[in-house]
Structure 1
């Protein structure tokens, strides 16, 4: 992978492998299965499916005969875990990402309820294998204290996905290189009246696109300011350029059923299907969409992904790298075995299991093993005119300002811009206000 920005360190990739990680005995095991220690693994039931974790658990248990991995998958995982946590019951590993509408993981982090797992990445086998860009960044090191709290178990290019049978060199539509090109294409599509330029699964998927435009507008300086709640940065020329660009996209060029679909149960799949069916050209997403939509994707369909168009003709395009994360609750009973399981994911065997299900673990040399659609999708990182971005918003004392919903203001305002309830200008003002409030309530 190319260099990462957004407060990330630069690391070189070199091929290496690790052997399976054995777990240690923990007298505070979270349960029992005969004489076996139990790891309670709780995951959101979603895009990557359950089979990958069933195979991972089986392989881990084969190397750790005294450990049993109990897997549980829930559609509304935050509600289930909040109920159990209130009774003093905790998972040993939680697979639930940052950036979800519920903000569950952010709330746990902001409340200091997530375990320090720096020793996982200090392990020599893991250390020599993992790409350091994914460890030394504000996603894994959420508090900025040099310690790791989130384990980046897979990554995906969070760019604009499209139907490669329609879009690309020599196809019906060319890939826009700049936002001017993007909007020009949108105007042409509106005249034709058959295809829309853009859709999103839900407005929450805009987060990676917004981060990419921030990088394009003001580079790492603007990105750092906004990730750390500098409210004045939204008022700057570059900050307004971000909201004006995204605002214009969702107001003038969105597939007309997007907002309605995005706000009903499972309606997000209809918006994703719009790209497959040729009703919309581009949508922000991740590589998991390939498997998620497999049942309704024609066999001759071909997925593509591109970076977000550049703001200027001479500027660089950007693509935000989305990671999925596992973490250990600070109240977990079986932390030692939980950490051993995380280490196993980064082993050659664990990474190969993930890859079998199109999940790319951020270890050195993994991209050399990619085939088929994954190989083509991850090639986006090889474009020298693309800046790869990875980052996360800084923690804040969410308990002190429970009525502030940062994700809603940042992303879901797009629904209201599209329907005419608000404007890009008002959105910018609301971001300034929200960022100012958050900046006044840091984590104590």
Structure 2
């Protein structure tokens, strides 16, 4: 495994590591749904501390606070595929542990847009969970919005008696040696398919790009569908779910670092051009749904579940987010996106969802207390139970957990086998200022309106702008 993993990525259990997460929706989801105020009861938006205590009177504390942490604590978190029942329970327990703290939380599927004016006016909430469309950890660091946690983290001991900085599966992102966020959720993007259909029809599960193209061709011929779909409204799904691991497989950690930092000439490198030509090959074969440009993430996922398409790149939040819409005969299958060359292992790049404290937090003491409170074995286990995903915390034993889905067990076995999967690491996520223009050009390439050469020119121009040239 990659050196970025301090230890073997294993959650001890016969039922398997819940390598899920992430993300978009559960992790990187787009803004969708009713406004936050209308969703207070449904998705936990903007409830007050008094309401929270009433909703869950069974806290994990006797209510005796330590007398050191008090006042109002504001928390912002995105609600997507993971839901927010875990947040509700954690916040209620925190209030029981710290009765002198009044927690106000701002939550919902559109929360990043709704809270934007607060951040711009230097009146942010104290704690923010960075996830969903409209959020960018790197952008927030570049804009000076997040507190430097480097020194504080070196001193934090969890309630389990462990040094927090030594307890992560994957270390926090660093920016010029500084830490501004702590990775809460471990996710990875990959490619999903209907395992029941593949078994019934005898379709080969791809193991590399050549077999991927072969299987898509067979499906196209037999089913009369475009095999691949994604969301064109949010092109970062393809960029993170398909291209990022492809670049990892082609050039390792060094290439990934050069891409996210906007190194001059990076998109012109031979190994990068080769991956973009694979995308063009998919488009020219007619394997990419030509309507994807108009699809939001929910529509693309529904089309996939209904059999209009056979493959979709999404994070591990997909089954949880689409639980109510999944057909009874549908069986989730997952593989790391198969863009690597024949004979090479699958590639995975961890995609983390962090917690951070605002640089201008009104109550930094309560904010730090909350962050410490969250990172425990107890709440990591509860996170898996509530979301079907995992927290970025080592040593969580899920061996007796009966709610671990089969696809996670299978994914765990695969990802922990270095003969099948190589894990790569990037220093931090790509800034929105760079990801957005590249994503726009990527959509054009996938629609066939520009060539690979034109895409490369656009990408290089975007990196030059990002560098301020």
Structure 1 position 53, deviation (Å): 0.7
- Counterpart-to-counterpart distance in 2, 1:183 and 1:365: 38
- Counterpart-to-counterpart distance in 2, 1:205 and 1:130: 31
After TM superposition, list the pairs within 5 Å mapping 1:111-260 onto structure 2. Answer: 111-118=143-150, 119-120=152-153, 122-125=155-158, 126-127=162-163, 131-135=167-171, 140-145=172-177, 147-167=178-198, 172-201=202-231, 202-208=234-240, 209-250=242-283, 252-260=286-294
Deviation per residue, 1:96-136 (Å, 9 max, x gap) = 23xx653544332111120122324642335268644522x
TM-score computed with the length of structure 2 as normaliser: 0.78
What secondary structure, in the 3-state scheme, does the structure 2 residue paired with 1:274 have?
A: helix
Structure 1 position 228, deviation (Å): 2.7
- Pair 1:283–1:367, CA change in 2 (3 A): farther
What secondary structure, in the 3-state scheme, does the structure 2 residue paired with 1:25 have?
A: coil
Paired residue for 1:284? 313
Structure 1 position 395, deviation (Å): 7.6
- Counterpart-to-counterpart distance in 2, 1:387 and 1:432: 28
- Pair 1:223–1:47, CA change in 2 (3 A): same
Question: Which residue of the other structure, out of 7, 24, 46, is the alignment partner of 1:11?
Answer: 7
Structure 1 position 85, deviation (Å): 3.4
- Counterpart-to-counterpart distance in 1, 2:215 and 2:305: 19
Question: Which residue of the other structure, out of 342, 347, 366, is the alignment partner of 1:313?
Answer: 342
Gaps of 5+ in 2: 13-59
Task: Verify: 1:383 aligned to 2:411, yes or no.
Answer: no
Question: Which residue of the other structure, out of 136, 141, 159, is the alignment partner of 1:109?
Answer: 141
**Contact 1:47/1:288 (<8 A) preserved:** yes
Structure 1 position 70, deviation (Å): 1.7
**Contact 1:158/1:322 (<8 A) preserved:** yes
**Contact 2:265/2:460 (<8 A) preserved:** yes
- Counterpart-to-counterpart distance in 2, 1:250 and 1:46: 30
Root mean square deviation, CA, Å: 2.9
Mean alpha-carbon deviation: is it higher for 284-293 or for 66-75? Answer: 66-75
- Counterpart-to-counterpart distance in 1, 2:363 and 2:312: 40
Deviation per residue, 1:65-97 (Å, 9 max, x gap) = 222322221333333222223444220111123
**Contact 2:229/2:300 (<8 A) preserved:** yes
Paired residue for 1:29? none
- Counterpart-to-counterpart distance in 1, 2:424 and 2:67: 37
- Pair 1:177–1:367, CA change in 2 (3 A): farther
Paired residue for 1:329? 358
Deviation per residue, 1:206-250 (Å, 9 max, x gap) = 132211100111223322322332232221211101211233335
- Counterpart-to-counterpart distance in 1, 2:10 and 2:164: 9
What secondary structure, in the 3-state scheme, does the structure 2 residue paired with 1:113 have?
A: coil
- Counterpart-to-counterpart distance in 1, 2:354 and 2:363: 19
* Corresponding residue pairs, total: 405
Task: Verify: 1:426 aligned to 2:461, yes or no.
Answer: no
Gaps of 5+ in 1: 27-35, 263-267, 399-404
What secondary structure, in the 3-state scheme, does the structure 1 residue paired with 2:138 have?
A: helix
- Pair 1:103–1:247, CA change in 2 (3 A): farther
Mean alpha-carbon deviation: is it higher for 294-303 or for 243-252? Answer: 243-252
Structure 1 position 354, deviation (Å): 1.0
- Counterpart-to-counterpart distance in 1, 2:312 and 2:9: 30
- Counterpart-to-counterpart distance in 2, 1:302 and 1:80: 36
Structure 1 position 272, deviation (Å): 0.5
Task: Verify: 1:74 aligned to 2:104, yes or no.
Answer: no
- Counterpart-to-counterpart distance in 2, 1:15 and 1:182: 30
After TM superposition, list the pairs within 5 Å mapping 1:290-305 onto structure 2. Answer: 290-305=319-334
- Pair 1:355–1:333, CA change in 2 (3 A): same
